[in-house]
Each structure stands twice: as structure tokens, then as C-alpha cells.
Structure 1
Amino acid sequence: MSKIALFGASGAMGRSIAAALGAEGCAYRVVGRNEAALRAAFGHDPLAECVVWNPGDPASVRAAAQGVDTLVYMVGVNYWQFELHPRLMRQTLEGAIAAGVRNVVLIGTVYPYGRPRTANPVREDHPREPHTFKGRMRKAQEDLLMQAHAEGRIRAAVLRLPDFYGPGVEASMLHSAIQAAACGGVAQMLGPIDRPHEFVYVPDVGPVVLRLARHPEAYGKIWHLAGSGATTQQALLQELERLAGHPLRRRIAGKTLLRIAGLFNPFMRELVEMHYLITDPLIMDDTALQQLIGPLGKTPYAQGLRESVEAARRARAANGLAGERA
């Protein structure tokens, strides 16, 4: 396989795709803005080529994309800076096209759909009618990519994911509860926690991305990768309590509490407009993806939570040992 580059590789999804590539013995490039973060995540892997880029510098973007066949785009921004998403996509596309990149796969979200307009689970033909600023920015990002595909400048695909979780995944709604089950403390959750929801287990994502990126019929379309079935945060919390062996202390933040916390915390403030995804859940149908690439390996929630808790316990023990040595 020609070289693949993971732009925005330091996050959970980048590490999952890198692990899938490593399992196949495939060389790959990881691209990010922070060299220390790249080295920490991938410096141990001889298959990984670490490249630092500046997305605001066209020469830097071209250099990061040079010699690449397929670019997987996962570039993140602060939750209160979503206006950067279209700008970064435009700059990346210009550099990638100039460098001769053939394919771009965007790891996307459900934000461009807005409130669900059809019964769950929803398919890829659901209207893209975002009513939030974040949804509009994500839609603009997708539109730039798919326009480049329509113009024949590059081949493009979007893979939408739901919320996610997994070992060491801090940017997850379930992270606090997993930590509480593993190490004690309070499970901080977004409520109400009894509404349907779905989560994808991060280690399951990498192999799916590779299969999609390699399929010639994947491009020019948007695809769904659903979670391991509809569940509730309440059900997952009960499973975490079973793993912990005792009830967990919990603090559930609804929309009102988010507004109050947002007076002091910009991240919490930005969660308010997306709270509809808790109260009016959007569950995805990934039948089309299965028909394209075949069966999808999905880790059951009980197993995924167990592996996440075990990883958190190992990390705590390792940190304690490091502290003793220091």
C-alpha cells in the first residue's frame, strides 16, 4: 500500500489507525503541530514517520503531504474555536492537492445533521440541517472536501462516528466514570443519563478506516460507523459499578448546570449548544458501510469498559511506581 498520512494523529483516533497499520507492518506518517506529543505517541514505532506541520503555512502543508497517497484527516481544534475547521480544511486541501495526494478521508461527526429529522437509527441520507454553530462549521468543512471531489481535484470520503470511549481516551463522555471505577473519585456525567445513546470503542475504528480508505467505491460519499448498539449512560454506569465492586459517586450535569459552569469554563460553556444530542439522541445506521466493506468488528460494551478500566488501573500503578522512583 502506498504511504498513508494521519493528519491530527496524536488523538485517540490517530492512535487507533496507527495501531491497525502497525499490525499490518505498514509504514505510515503521523502529522501534528506538537512534536513532543507525536514523539510520545509514536516515537517507539519504527514504522512511524513523525512530521510537524504548521497548517497556516502552505509550504509546511505541502511538505507534510509530500509523497502521500491517502490522507486521513482528524485535525482537532479547541471546542470554543470551531470556526477554524473550514479554514484548516481549505488549507490542508490546497497543500495536499499541490503535493499530489489522491485520497482524503475525513473522520467526521453527527454535528452537521442537527436535530434528528427521522426515526432512529438514521442513514447517510439524513438531511444536513445543523442548527448549531458547531454543526454549521463541521458542515462547511465537509462541503469544502466534497466540492473538491466533485471538481475532480481529489477523491474524498467522510466517515461519521458517534461518541467514543476506550483505554486511555480522555476526550470521552465516559472517561470520568471509567476513572472513578478504576481509581476512585466522582463520575462526572452529562445528563439526563437514561436516554438512548451509542458509543464506538476506539480500538475498533482503525481497521474500519483502513478498509474504507482502500475501497475504490468509498469515495464521493459519506458513511456511518455506528457504535456497539444503542444503550444508555445509566446502563454503562451500572456496568462500571459492577467492575468496581461498589456504587460509584456521581455528579450529573444537565443543561442548567452546564450554563452555570460555563461562566467559568469555556469548554463547559460550549457544551450547552450540543446538549440536544443528550436529550434528542441521534443513533446511526451503518448498514451501507457493512454492505461496502463487509462485517464490522464491534467490541461489546461490557468488554470495552472492562478493558478501559484495566488500562486505567495499570496507568495508575505505573504512575505510582514512577513517583516512587523519582
Structure 2
Amino acid sequence: MEKALVVGASGGMGYSVVKELSSRGISVTAFARTRDKLEKLFGNDPNVTIYAGDLFKVEDLEEAAQGVDVIFQAANIPYSEWEMKLLVMMSNIIETAKKHSAKVAFVDNIYAYGRSTGTTVNERTPKNPHTKKGKLRLQVEELIKTSKVPALIAHFPDFYGPNAESSLLNYTLVNVIKNKKASYVGDQSIAREFIYTPDGAKAIVELSLNEEAYGQNWNIPAQEVISGEEIIKTIRDITDYQKGVSTVSKKMIQFLGIFNPQMREAVEMYYLNEEPVVLNGEKYEKLIGPIPHTCYREGLMKTMEYMKKQA
């Protein structure tokens, strides 16, 4: 790969994918809507070309994709827009890849798997989504697989890391950084996965460089589960934070949903805080090798250091 396009470059995983590609000397076009944010994130990187465009304008994508070998799809849109726009966005990316004979690497979540099986899920686990958003993600997967575009789909658990501003853990960490009373989404006693975005970026870039990876799904786990209580204890161990951390319950999100359409849409995904889906990464390890892994202590420390610099 000599040149790549990263769609959603100003988001959590997109940012780390751009950084990972650039660190390998690969020329990257960073695509997102807001030029100022792109300039702030990548303006000093000689390997990165900035393109401020609209995912829903195919001409913007086609112009940005000129000469690229792989398109990394790391963009997301608000939950409230998924039903109307998610498949349109994905179709635009697929059509752009076809026009430029580019491969595609999709950053995906775990929604399509549906409820937890009680054990780790692998790529052979039947997908049986019970939520509206899970069913939409499965439709996206079917769209990709019938497109005949060389594509790989990487399933990730929830993110945390540098610039992962929309993540659940960021919601907790942003107030820790301000030394204010913080909140944690979900039962603090339940263990679940959170992947450090630079680890996830390394994993999907490694897959994108291997021809055998295309035409398949890949699970990229965090390698460890951790409870909210353990996260908070780790935060206290590495900082002087002593404020209380309350729990954001499903009922609280339902109440906020009366006034906020985003919260209203988030309610159906709350089950992941109660019945975590944990990924099995054996397939990746057989093809590529060990999954990149940063322990939670180090990942949280680096994430908070990044956040402090941006404050």
C-alpha cells in the first residue's frame, strides 16, 4: 500500500488509523467534514493530505480517493440519522472504491452479533441482532459482501484513546480531567471490553496489508475485560482524583431521551452494559500474530495525557 484514504479521520479510530499509516511512511488522505479540526490534528504531518468533504456527496469522496489503494471507513453518524443515512453513506464509499479499483477496510462495532452468548464470540458465531441498530449494521455487512469490492470488516468493542471524544469512557474521563464529579455508563461491577484506539488501528492496518484478509470478517478484541470499578480504581491510582463517580443507569438515559433524540436512540444499546459481548481474536492471531495490546493502566494514562494537552 502506497496511499490510503481514511474516511472519518477526525474521529477516535479514524485519527489513530491515520497516525498508524503515517508512521509506516504511507501517504494518507484524511477525510472529514471540518477542515479546522483536520488541520489541528494532522496539519504538521508531511505524510497526511487533508480533505474536508461531505460523505453524502459522492463527488467529494471520488476526488479524495484518487490514486488510493485502500479506503479505511471509520466514519460514523449520529444514531438518530442511522435509519435514513447509514446505508446511503456506505453505498457512497463502496461506489467510490469501485470507481478507483480500491480495496476497503471497514471499522465496525459488535451490534450485529446481538445479545451475548455467555462466551466469547468468534467470526463463525451466527449474527442475530435484536436491536434496530444491530439490524442496520447487518444490512451494511450484506451490502459490502454483495458489492464485489475487495473488503475486510473488522469488529471492535467500545473504543477509548486519543481523540476518542464520543466514547463511553471519554464521558467519564472528561470530568476526571477537570477534577469534577464524574459518571460511568452502566453497572460498575460488570466486566466488559474497551479497546485502546492505537491498538485497534495497528490491527486493522496489519489486516489491510495482507491480501488473505479481504473478503472476510475479523474480530479485534481488547484482550482483557475490565469492570467500571477497576477502571475507576486505576484512574485513582494514576491520578490524584478523589471525587465520586456515579452510575448512569438505563432509566436515566430513558428520561434524557424525552428531551434528547440521541439519548432516545441510545437506550436500545444499553444492553451491552448489562450483557457484554466479548470478542474472540484467535482467527486474527492465526493469520497475523498477536493482537496489539496496551494494558488499561497505560492506555488510560496516555489517553488522559492527550486530553490534558487538548484542554
Q: With structure 2 as the length reference, what TM-score do the two structures score? A: 0.94
Larger Rg: 1
CA deviations over 1:102-154 (Å, ceiling 9, x no partner): x10100000111112x33211111211111111111111111111113xxxx2
Instruction: Give 2:280's aligned residue.
Output: 285
RMSD value, Cα: 1.6
Instruction: Give 1:319's aligned residue.
Output: none
Is 1:179 aligned with 2:196? no
Aligned partner (choices 239, 252, 264) of residue 269 of structure 1:
264
Instruction: Give 1:44's aligned residue.
Output: 44
Q: Tell me if the contact between 2:15 and 2:163 (Cα under 8 Å) persists in the aligned partners.
A: no
CA deviations over 1:141-168 (Å, ceiling 9, x no partner): 111111113xxxx201100100111134
Change (3 A) 1:19 1:57: closer
Instruction: Give 2:144's aligned residue.
Output: 145
Larger deviation, residues 36-45 vs 213-222: 36-45
Instruction: Give 1:62's aligned residue.
Output: 62
Give 1:64 deviation, angstroms.
2.1
Q: Tell me if the contact between 2:220 and 2:279 (Cα under 8 Å) persists in the aligned partners.
A: yes
Is 1:127 aligned with 2:122? no
Give 1:246 deviation, angstroms.
4.7
Give 1:228 deviation, angstroms.
3.6
Instruction: Give 1:241's aligned residue.
Output: 236
Q: Tell me if the contact between 2:56 and 2:88 (Cα under 8 Å) persists in the aligned partners.
A: no
Change (3 A) 1:124 1:243: same
Provide the C-alpha distance between the structure 2 equivalents of 1:10 and 1:313, rounded to a whole number of angstroms.
Answer: 18
Task: Give the 4+ runs in structure 1 shifted more than 6 A.
Answer: none
CA deviations over 1:54-99 (Å, ceiling 9, x no partner): 3333333322222111111112101211121111111221122112
Aligned partner of residue 81 in structure 1, secondary structure:
helix
Aligned partner of residue 49 in structure 2, secondary structure:
strand
Change (3 A) 1:244 1:92: same
Give 1:244 deviation, angstroms.
2.8
Instruction: Give 2:94's aligned residue.
Output: 93
Instruction: Give 2:24's aligned residue.
Output: 24
Aligned partner (choices 196, 199, 203) of residue 194 of structure 2:
199
Larger deviation, residues 126-135 vs 177-186: 177-186
Q: Tell me if the contact between 2:11 and 2:165 (Cα under 8 Å) persists in the aligned partners.
A: no
1:6-25 superposed matches below 5 A: 6-25=6-25
Aligned partner (choices 296, 320, 325) of residue 291 of structure 2:
296
Change (3 A) 1:52 1:311: closer
Q: Tell me if the contact between 1:104 and 1:157 (Cα under 8 Å) persists in the aligned partners.
A: yes
Change (3 A) 1:300 1:264: same
Provide the C-alpha distance between the structure 2 equivalents of 1:315 and 1:67, rounded to a whole number of angstroms.
Answer: 33
Change (3 A) 1:21 1:58: closer
Larger deviation, residues 283-292 vs 181-190: 181-190
CA deviations over 1:187-221 (Å, ceiling 9, x no partner): 12112121120110112122212110010110111
Change (3 A) 1:77 1:168: closer
Aligned partner of residue 203 in structure 1, secondary structure:
helix
Aligned partner of residue 10 in structure 1, secondary structure:
coil
Q: Unpaired segments of 5 or more residues in structure 2?
A: none
Change (3 A) 1:314 1:54: closer
Larger deviation, residues 31-40 vs 211-220: 31-40
Larger deviation, residues 48-57 vs 283-292: 48-57
Instruction: Give 1:323's aligned residue.
Output: none
Provide the C-alpha distance between the structure 1 equivalents of 2:26 and 2:61, rounded to a whole number of angstroms.
Answer: 23
Instruction: Give 2:157's aligned residue.
Output: 162
Change (3 A) 1:306 1:24: same
Which amino acid is the alignment partner of residue 129 of structure 1? N
Q: With structure 1 as the length reference, what TM-score do the two structures score? A: 0.90
